[in-house]
């Protein structure tokens, strides 16, 4: 068999995290009762007209700048005409002729090294409604809550060669979009949707094979499986001397196979033309500059800074910056606490452990950074032991409790009550004359026995260092007294 | 002669003076409807009871100071492609037979704020596509001046209602002449405002870049007053413009001495009927006598207007009318086999012939491989036309044109040959393609007694200029038709022949 | 050159426009469209080289709304005109399978 290679390009739809839809004042909230977030505009009522949400343009600009795109400072909306029940006007308002962003790139890292994936364009458009298939009644039901939710479609060049690169590219895009604050990019909830354009060719060949477009990919795993499955199918066809047909295929992850979505009625001629209802968008240099300035520090810069400024190991810096929200939790805690290295250690061990145990994504973690900083300070001052500190942190992680109040209430604070400590020491020494004698005779090991006894008597609310100090003082006193008695005895 | 023969402003004045009540005006108009509607069929729906209730409400509101303004208490008819909340809005189409919008067009909000009384919805060519009101799915409307003839279209119902004194005022919509041409055929006055002056929110779109709602009335003053009520910026319409010069009534009353009028030579060619031409030439003479400067110019893009218009309008229409699919509202075919068959049967049974013709043409000119040759070419032609008109308006205040090449055709004559019908739009479509304002007013009659209309076209935002000119001309020609009482017949002098310099 | 409207083109137009025509209607439509396109062909006599297409009449731009929720739940009104509805949704013939 010949050697083949895959050529993959992606069309990624990202739902923008605006409060309202792209062309009307309906909420974009996910998971509500069908058709309750609708109005004449997003349901295609006769006579209704679209008005563009300014935030959508700003978010698209953020996304474009964050992925090194050239911005078209004058752009327009076009209508894409096709009939489908989830498309209430039977045209989708999108951008064909002049998209808002073009010619960008992102860098991905895989086992084989670093690589740039070029972005052909990024355009704004409206989402379609949702179709539910009623198996019993043999009909479909339409819900327009999602209709008009703003999307950007990110079209890559066919620069990827395997599923590993595809996943790396998607993770990179997700990271950029989350950092730029434009989308949460959840595949499961459909706020990030991926269509895979794939063709195969003989390894080393320069020309492109016939590609297919695959839809309905709901997880990174499904995407990887679909890529493997589709490339095998295409290679098989070529090996049998058959041709690959350019078509759209639907991936069925349960059957681990794709199926052609063809119909005579799919004319595939979208008759794009400029939407006369929407005047062009003009992005002034000032506006663009304001957006550029408002962009956050992205992951690469952050990783570099963590290593240089905080002296963190590369591995830690990489983990901590995986999500923007985790990174800012870390940074705020570190600033408040004053020791980045110790903060990082706590994150790398305790935060990641709880995140894993709770099955959470980094974006879902939310607690007040000062709470953890306060806890770390108390630990630093030895006002709490590390065992208790871990327990308290669980409460912070789950319920964001204030550790100062909590520790006080639960009586977990190590109290420096020297009077009480000396009483306890005296008591312990009195009760253990045997070991005391051994100690006074020079058996240093016995010291540990006394420290343990004292700590137990203090119910852990003593600083081991203080215990050691006071105990030594106490023993010395006993020793001197004893020596005095012996002297007196000798005199007598 | 009853109250219904007054102009809207006269009625409003009498109401303000306390000489008549709001209800008197409403009653008068409904009595006239009772007398005439059987023959004319200007209306698709009438809201008699609500209008009576509304009259009382307005009366009360006026006393309380809630309603004021020059058209307070005046009954008005609304073209059936404008959404009124809770009222059937059919666009003259079977496909929207039972459609009741649950939202309000912006113009309707404005009529209500102005204290006007909506009396019903008027007949129209299906989705405003047609020039005769014969493409309506709900029967034809007859021209009140001669009931064997069409009222014109597509706002034929609105214009016939005003001409028959079945309404004091009406709202129409104009995409390629749909207010001006039926105004001419019915002998009433109508205005197509500058694109963006009146909100399109709630107007069921035919061709979005060409559509404008405008007033139809008995004279220029009535139309100017109504235009003032309905214009203004609307944040719900992205193509709505923020204008400050909207007090149109103030423009009336001045003379036209020294005003510069242009007459495109291309408008006086063989297509123009001799009678319309004669009347038009008389107008030119009158204007000169009034002290205006009238000159012939050449608009070389004239012959490209109709092709460009039909390509652009049909393209936009094919997309705008995609939403009528039997899913969300309106008609759905009874029997079908699967989704696409449902779409096809619904649309095939729901749309009339003319609408289908334009949808097909529009789908074709946008389709892959033809977009550049047809649609893009038409948009470029539009740009060239704009340059030419811009140059003309650098020199002239008003471009004069007939409203149509002929007077109202007989019923049943026009639909046989669609292309011939389209050619009748030659004098009106430029205004829509370029977003210009134009007023159409009566300027004579033919031998059969059918009215002839005159168009005054202004540069963008220059409504005041054309209204001043129209009003001045109207005063001069006071002799013409007084509604319902044609007391003074106009006798036209013999007309100078040819392109003689007037 | 003028496009010849043949059966295949007509078929395609009907798919795009979601219309069904009988054979007689199809013939008539073909003829009418041909006539219209022949007429539209006139546009080619106009020199438009170097001219930008005029899709929006006025140079207005950046007509925006702020990202503020203004709509309320209108479901009952929305579904009031539905030819067929079920469970608060529009019912249509099955779209897949």
Beta bridge partners of residue A119, listed in sequence order: A104, A156
The lowest-confidence range among A102-106, A403-407, B102-106 is A403-407
> What are B117-144's pLDDT values in tens digits?
999 999 999 999 999 999 999 999 999 9
Locate the chain A residue with the closest alpha carbon to C86. Answer: A141
Question: Which of A409, A344, A332 is closest to A392 using CA atoms?
Answer: A409
CB B451 within 8 A of CB B184: yes
d(CA A454, CA A470): 10
B272 falls within a domain: no
Contacts of A117 (CB under 8 A, 6+ apart): A105, A106, A107, A108, A156, A157, A159, A160, A165, A169, A172
Q: Is A241 helix (H, G, I), strand (E, B) or coil?
A: coil
3-state secondary structure of B82: strand
Residues B53-63, mean pLDDT to the nearest whole number: 97
Q: What is the pLDDT of residue B83?
A: 98
The domain ranges of chain C are 7-45
* DSSP SS3 for A197: strand
* pLDDT grade for A490, boundaries at 50, 70 and 90: low
- pLDDT confidence bin for A413, thresholds 50/70/90: confident
Q: What is the pTM of this model?
A: 0.89
Domain that holds residue B46: 3-251+437-476
Q: Does C44 touch chain A (CB under 8 A)?
A: no
> Which CATH architecture describes the domain A418-491?
Orthogonal Bundle (1.10)
Q: State mean pLDDT over A337-352.
A: 93
Which residue in A52, A142, A276 is closest to B208 by CB distance? A276
Q: Is B178 a catalytic residue?
A: yes
Strand-strand pairing, A192-202 and A150-156: unpaired
pLDDT tens by residue, B474-493 = 998 864 444 433 433 443 33
Contact between C89 and A36 using a beta-carbon 8 Å cutoff: no
CA-angle at A73, arms to A72 and A75, nearest 5°: 70
At residue C30, does pLDDT exceed 50?
yes
Token duo for residue C53: 């297409």
- Which residues on B lie below 8 Å from A88 (Cβ)? 323, 327-328
Calpha distance A385→A475 (Å, rounded): 26
Residues 6+ apart with CB under 8 A from B322: A81, A83, A89, A90, A91, C18
CA distances from A343 to A334, A337, A380, B17 (A): 6, 8, 11, 84
Helix axes A464-491, A446-457, angle to 10 degrees: 120
pLDDT tens profile B318-351: 999 999 999 999 999 999 999 999 999 999 999 9
Reported as a pLDDT band with limits 50, 70 and 90, residue B469 is very high
Measure the CA–CA gap between B398 and A47, rounded to whole angstroms. 32
Instruction: Note the pLDDT of residue A314.
Output: 92
For residue range B192-240, what is the model confidence (pLDDT) as tens digits? Answer: 999 999 999 999 999 999 999 999 999 999 999 999 999 999 999 999 9
The secondary element (H helix, E strand) that includes residue B191 is: strand B189-192
Choose, out of B128, B173, B236, B346, the residue to mutate when testing the contact with A (most A CBs < 10 Å): B236
A444: which residues sit within 8 A by CB, 6+ positions away? none
High-pLDDT (> 90) share of chain B, %: 92
Q: Is there a domain that residue B259 lies in?
A: no
Residue B165's closest CA among B191, B145, B190, B139?
B145
- Residue B389 has phi, psi (to 5 degrees) of -70, -40
pLDDT value at position B90? 98
What gap in Å lies between CA C80 and CA B88, rounded to an integer? Answer: 12
Show which subunits contact A, needing at least 3 CB pairs below 8 angstroms: B, C
* Identified catalytic residue from B178, B240, B278, B314: B178
> CA-CA distances (angstroms) from residue B105 to A21, A259, B138, C39?
21, 46, 23, 37
What is the model's pLDDT at position B479? 46
C-alpha B7/C-alpha B112 separation (Å) is 19
Q: What is the pLDDT of residue A17?
A: 96
Q: Catalogue the E-assigned strands of A18-165.
A: 52-53, 70-71, 74-75, 78-81, 91-94, 101-110, 113-126, 130-134, 139-143, 150-156
Contact criterion met (CB below 8 Å) for A74 and A141: no
What pLDDT is recorded for position B487?
A: 38
Q: Residue A439: which residues within 8 A CB-CB, separation 6 or more? A: A446, A447, A450, A475
pLDDT exceeds 60 at position C97: no
Mean pLDDT of chain A: 91
Question: What pLDDT is recorded for position B169?
Answer: 98
pLDDT at B495 over 80: no
Q: Which of B25, B207, B51, B193 is nearest to B121 (CA)?
A: B51
Q: For B425-428, which contacts have Cβ atoms below 8 Å and span 24 or more sequence positions?
A: B425/B131, B425/B176, B425/B177, B425/B181, B425/B306, B425/B309, B426/B267, B426/B271, B426/B302, B426/B305, B426/B306, B427/B177, B427/B267, B427/B401, B427/B402, B427/B403, B427/B455, B428/B176, B428/B177, B428/B180, B428/B181, B428/B403, B428/B404, B428/B455
Residue B373 lies in a domain: no
* One-character DSSP codes across A250-279: EEETTTTEEEE---TT-------EE-TTSP
Q: Give the pLDDT of residue A473.
A: 80
**pLDDT of A395:** 94
pLDDT above 70 covers a percentage of chain B that reads 95
Domain count of chain B? 1
Mean pLDDT calculated for residue range A98-102: 97
pLDDT given for residue A264 in this prediction: 63
Q: Are strands A192-202 and A4-15 parallel, antiparallel or unpaired?
A: antiparallel
pLDDT at B162 over 90: yes
> Average of pLDDT values for A91-103?
97
- Give me the residue from B235, B315, B325 closest to A83, CB to CB: B325
Q: Residue B354: what are its φ and ψ, rounded to 5°?
A: -65, -40
Interface residue C74 vs chain A (CB under 8 A): yes
Mean pLDDT of chain B: 94
Window 23-42 of C, Cβ < 8 Å to B: 29, 32-33, 35-37, 39-42
Q: Is the Cβ of A248 closer than 8 Å to some Cβ of chain B?
A: no
Beta strands C85-86 and A281-282, pairing class: unpaired
- Per-chain mean pLDDT for chain C: 92
**Nearest residue to A252 via CA among A244, A261, A263, A243:** A261
CA distance linking residue A380 with residue B131, whole number of Å? 88
Structure tokens at B56: 């009382």
Burial C32-60 (b: 16+ CB within 10 A, else e): bbeebbebbbebeebebeebebbbbbeeb
> B322 vs A81: CB contact, 8 Å cut-off?
yes
Specify which residues A259 forms β-bridges with.
Answer: A250
Residue B484: its pLDDT value, please? 37
We report the CATH number of the domain holding residue B222 as: 3.90.1300.10
Contacts of C25 (CB under 8 A, 6+ apart): none
Q: Which of B325, B381, B415 best probes binding to C when mutated, by most C CB atoms within 10 angstroms?
A: B381
Our CA-based measurement puts residue A273 at a distance from the nearest CA of chain C, in whole angstroms, of 9
C8 Cβ partners below 8 Å, 6+ apart?
Answer: none
| pLDDT recorded at residue A263 | 67
Tokens of A280: 């062009």
**Average of per-residue pLDDT across B70-94:** 98
- CB < 8 Å from C in window 428-457 of B: 434-435
Reference B200, options B243, B237, B154; nearest CA is B237
The H or E element containing residue B215 is strand B212-217
Q: What pLDDT does residue B497 have?
A: 29
Tell me the β-bridge partners of A142.
A131, C90
Per-residue pLDDT of A445-468, as tens digits, reads: 888 888 888 888 877 777 777 778
Place of tokens 């040959």: B417
Residue of A462, A471, A393 whose CA lies nearest to A427: A471
- Percent of chain A past pLDDT 70, that is, above it, reads 97
Q: In A96-245, which ranges are continuous DSSP H helix?
A: 163-180, 220-239
Average pLDDT over residues A265-282: 91
Q: Rounded to an integer, what distance in angstroms lies between the CA atom of residue A390 and that of residue A343?
A: 13
ipTM > 0.90 for the complex: yes
Tens of pLDDT, residue by residue over A277-317, are 999 999 999 999 999 999 999 999 999 999 999 999 999 99
* Strands laid side by side in the C85-86 sheet: A130-134, A139-143, C89-93, C85-86
Contact A208, A201 (CB under 8 A): yes
Judge whether B41 and B135 are in contact, CB under 8 Å. Answer: no
Give yes or no for residue A125 having a pLDDT over 90. yes
At residue A427, the pLDDT reads 86
At residue B452, the pLDDT reads 96
In Å, how far is A266's CA from the nearest CA of chain C? Answer: 8
As a whole-number percent, the residues of chain A with pLDDT over 90 amount to: 68
Contact A335, A310 (CB under 8 A): no
Is B315 part of any domain? no
> Minimum mean pLDDT among A85-89, A428-432, B101-105: which range?
A428-432
CB B305 within 8 A of CB B426: yes
Helix pair A163-180, A54-66: axis angle to 10 deg: 130
Q: Does A35 touch chain C (CB under 8 A)?
A: yes
Whether the per-residue pLDDT at A254 is higher than 60: the answer is yes
Q: How many CB atoms lie within 10 A of CB C97?
A: 7
The reply to whether B196 falls in a domain is yes
Mean pLDDT value across residues B274-301: 95
Residue B275 has pLDDT above 80, yes or no: yes
């Amino acid at each position: 068999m010949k050697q083949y290679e895959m050529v993959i390009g992606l069309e990624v739809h990202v739902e923008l995290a605006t409060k309202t839809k792209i062309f009307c004042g309906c909420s974009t909230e996910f998971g509500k009762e069908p058709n309750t977030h609708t109005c004449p505009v997003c349901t295609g009522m006769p006579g209704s007209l679209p008005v563009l949400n300014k935030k959508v343009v700003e978010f698209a600009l953020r996304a474009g700048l964050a992925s090194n795109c050239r911005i078209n400072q004058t752009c327009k909306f076009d209508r894409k005409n096709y009939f489908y029940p989830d498309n209430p006007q039977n045209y989708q308002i999108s951008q064909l002729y002049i998209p808002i962003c073009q010619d960008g790139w992102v860098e991905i890292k895989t086992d084989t090294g670093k690589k740039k994936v070029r972005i052909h364009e990024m355009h704004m458009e409206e989402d379609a409604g949702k179709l539910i298939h009623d198996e019993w009644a043999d009909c479909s039901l339409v819900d327009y809550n999602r209709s008009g939710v703003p999307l950007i479609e990110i079209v890559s060049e066919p620069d990827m060669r395997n599923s590993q690169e595809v996943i790396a590219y998607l993770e990179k895009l997700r990271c950029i979009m989350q950092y730029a604050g434009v989308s949460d990019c959840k595949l499961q909830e459909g706020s990030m949707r991926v269509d895979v354009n794939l063709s195969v060719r003989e390894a080393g060949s320069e020309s492109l094979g016939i590609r297919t477009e695959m839809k309905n990919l709901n997880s990174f795993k499904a995407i990887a499986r679909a890529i493997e499955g589709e490339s095998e199918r295409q290679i098989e066809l070529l090996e049998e001397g058959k041709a690959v047909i350019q078509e759209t295929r639907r991936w069925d992850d349960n059957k681990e196979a794709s199926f052609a979505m063809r119909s005579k009625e799919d004319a595939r001629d979208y008759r794009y033309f400029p939407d006369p209802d929407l005047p062009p968008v003009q992005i002034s240099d000032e506006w663009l500059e304001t957006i550029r300035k408002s962009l956050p520090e992205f992951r690469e810069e952050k990783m570099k800074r963590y290593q240089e400024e905080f002296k963190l190991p590369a591995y830690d810096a990489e983990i901590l910056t995986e999500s923007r929200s985790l990174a800012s939790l870390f940074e705020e805690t570190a600033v408040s606490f004053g020791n980045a290295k110790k903060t990082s250690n706590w994150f790398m061990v305790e935060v990641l452990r709880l995140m894993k145990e709770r099955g959470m994504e980094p974006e879902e973690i939310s607690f007040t950074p000062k709470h953890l900083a306060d806890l770390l300070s108390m630990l630093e001052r030895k006002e709490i032991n590390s065992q208790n500190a871990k327990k308290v942190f669980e409460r912070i992680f789950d319920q964001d409790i204030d550790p100062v109040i909590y520790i006080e209430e639960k009586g977990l604070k190590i109290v420096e009550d020297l009077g009480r400590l000396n009483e306890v020491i005296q008591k312990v020494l009195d009760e253990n004359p045997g070991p005391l004698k051994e100690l006074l005779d020079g058996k240093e090991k016995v010291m540990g026995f006394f420290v343990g006894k004292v700590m137990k008597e203090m119910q852990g609310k003593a600083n081991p260092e203080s215990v050691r100090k006071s105990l030594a003082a106490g023993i010395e006193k006993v020793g001197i007294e004893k020596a005095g008695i012996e002297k007196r005895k000798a005199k007598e | 002669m009853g109250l219904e023969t007054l102009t809207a402003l006269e009625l409003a004045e009498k109401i303000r003076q306390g000489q008549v009540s709001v209800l008197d005006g409403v009653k008068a108009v409904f009595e006239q409807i009772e007398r005439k509607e059987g023959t004319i069929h200007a209306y698709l729906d009438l809201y008699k009871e609500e209008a009576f209730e509304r009259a009382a409400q307005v009366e009360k509101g006026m006393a309380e100071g809630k309603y004021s303004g020059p058209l307070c208490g005046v009954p008005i008819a609304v073209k059936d492609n404008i959404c009124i909340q809770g009222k059937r809005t059919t666009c003259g189409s079977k496909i929207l037979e039972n459609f009741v919008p649950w939202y309000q067009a912006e113009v309707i909000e404005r009529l209500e704020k102005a204290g006007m009384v909506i009396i019903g919805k008027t007949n129209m060519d299906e989705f405003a596509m047609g020039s005769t009101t014969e493409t309506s799915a709900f029967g034809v409307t007859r021209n009140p001046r001669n009931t064997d003839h069409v009222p014109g279209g597509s706002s034929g119902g609105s214009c016939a209602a005003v001409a028959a004194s079945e309404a004091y005022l009406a709202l129409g919509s104009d995409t390629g002449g749909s207010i001006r041409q039926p105004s001419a055929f019915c002998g009433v006055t109508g205005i197509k405002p500058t694109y963006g002056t009146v909100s399109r929110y709630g107007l069921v779109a035919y061709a979005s870049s060409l559509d404008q709602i405008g007033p139809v009335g008995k004279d220029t003053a009535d139309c100017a007053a109504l235009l003032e009520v309905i214009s203004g910026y609307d944040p719900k319409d992205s193509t709505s413009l923020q204008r400050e010069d909207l007090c149109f009534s103030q423009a009336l009353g001045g003379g036209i001495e020294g005003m510069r009028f242009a007459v495109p030579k291309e408008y006086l060619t063989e297509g123009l009927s001799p009678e319309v031409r004669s009347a038009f030439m008389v107008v030119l003479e009158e204007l000169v006598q009034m002290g205006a400067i009238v000159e012939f110019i050449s608009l070389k893009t004239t012959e490209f207007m109709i092709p460009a218009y039909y390509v652009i309008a049909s393209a936009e229409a094919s997309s705008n009318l995609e939403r009528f699919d039997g899913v969300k509202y309106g008609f759905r075919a009874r029997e079908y086999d699967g989704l696409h068959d449902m779409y096809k049967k619904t649309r095939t049974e729901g749309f009339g012939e003319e609408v289908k013709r334009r949808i097909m043409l529009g789908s074709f000119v946008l389709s892959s491989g033809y977009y550049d040759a047809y649609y893009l070419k038409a948009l470029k032609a539009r740009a060239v036309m704009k340059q030419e008109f811009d140059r003309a308006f650098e020199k002239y205040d008003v471009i004069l044109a007939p409203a149509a090449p002929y007077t109202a055709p007989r019923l049943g004559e026009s639909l046989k040959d669609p292309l011939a019908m389209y050619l009748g739009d030659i004098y009106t479509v430029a205004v829509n393609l370029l977003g210009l304002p134009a007023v159409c007013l009566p300027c004579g009659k033919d031998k059969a007694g059918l009215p002839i209309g005159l168009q005054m076209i202004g540069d963008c935002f220059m409504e005041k200029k054309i209204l001043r000119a129209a009003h001045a001309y109207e005063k001069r020609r006071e002799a013409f038709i007084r509604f319902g009482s044609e007391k003074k017949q106009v006798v036209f002098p013999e007309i100078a022949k040819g392109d003689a310099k007037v | 050159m003028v496009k010849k409207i043949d059966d295949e083109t007509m078929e395609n137009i009907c798919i795009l426009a979601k219309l069904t025509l009988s054979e007689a209607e199809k013939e008539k439509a073909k003829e009418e469209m041909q006539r219209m396109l022949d007429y539209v062909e006139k546009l080619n006599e106009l020199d438009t080289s170097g001219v930008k297409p005029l899709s929006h009449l006025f140079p207005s731009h950046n007509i925006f709304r702020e990202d503020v929720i203004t709509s309320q739940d209108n479901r009952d009104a929305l579904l009031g005109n539905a030819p067929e509805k079920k469970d608060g949704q529009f019912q249509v013939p099955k779209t897949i399978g």
